[in-house]
Amino acid sequence: MSALITETPVEPAPETSSPATAVQRVPLEPPELEAIYEEHSRPIFYLALRMLGDPTQAEDATHDVFLKAYRKLGEFKGNSSIRTWLYRITINHCQNLLQTWHRRNIHGTDDETFWERAVGPGDSPLRVLETKELGQRIQKSLDALPEEYRLLLLLVADEKLSYDEVGALTNQSSDAVRGKLHRARKTFAAAFHQTA
């Protein structure tokens, strides 16, 4: 499988959900945490995965983020959306991890079993390979970007976030987000083509 990025106007993509990729439901207590987890765990895990570049560390980070959220539910004042609040916790958590000596000296593991789990049991080995291969190319391309561009693209990819919210999460105005996004797209496209 090959993947291309063409510079055409972006149409909002419909959210797709197939049985193979649906979030497996595990009941959590209290009920509000369960609802929050069910709605937001997927984008949080994806952000952690692409920021850290390692499935095992992304699993740990997602667990830690929701545990922090549980502990701080009482402090959440509703000034932002829950998702923005969770993203802020995730970004801080992952940035802290990336800055630690431990993280800098531990190479990420390419967890084979993770990629096998990432596609459904009915999917062919070819599909497992395609998903893994595209994921690896995306990770390499993101790793080649300045951190600011990487985070910007990952946040803008979530259609539930407005440019204002992306700006708030990255400490800049929505106009600055728009301006930098153009450069981030170009840099990513160039890096992605180099991974072919």
Partner 1 sequence: MSQPTSRLNQRQREEVTSQQQGAQNTAALEFAAAEEMLRHDAGQIPVPPAVAERLQKSVASEPAPPKSWWQRLLKG
- Say whether residue 129 binds partner 1 (CB under 8 A): no
Q: Give the position of tokens 């990770």.
A: 139
Among residues 86, 91, 151, 153, the one that binds partner 1 under rule CB under 8 A? 153
Is 37 near partner 1 (CB under 8 A)? yes
113: its two tokens = 């079993």
From the list 39, 107, 33, 26, the residue with the least C-alpha distance to 76 is 33
d(CA 185, CA 182): 5
Residue 114 CB, nearest approach to partner 1 (Å): 7
DSSP 26: -
Total length of the chain: 196
CB 147, min distance to partner 1, A? 15
Residue where the block lists tokens 């069910």: 38
| CA–CA gap between residue 88 and residue 85 (Å, rounded) | 5
Is the Cβ of residue 87 or residue 192 nearer to partner 1 in the bound state?
Answer: 192
Q: Which is nearer to partner 1, 47 or 168 (CB)?
A: 47
DSSP 3-state of 179:
helix
Query: Smallest gap, in angstroms, from Cβ of residue 172 to partner 1?
Result: 17
Structure tokens at 3: 């993947």
Q: Between residue 46 and residue 85, which ones bind partner 1 under the rule CB under 8 A?
A: 46, 49-50, 55, 59, 62-63, 66-67, 70-78
Question: What 8-state DSSP symbol labels residue 157?
Answer: T
Among 91-99, 101-109, 124-132, 170-178, which window interacts with partner 1 (CB under 8 A)? Answer: 124-132
* Closest distance of CB 146 from partner 1, Å: 14
- Please say whether the beta carbons of 68 and 93 come within 8 A: yes
Considering only residues 39, 91, 164, 189, which one is a binding residue for partner 1 as defined by CB under 8 A?
Answer: 189
Q: Min. distance of Cβ 59 from partner 1 in angstroms?
A: 5
Nearer to partner 1, 72 or 104 (CB): 72
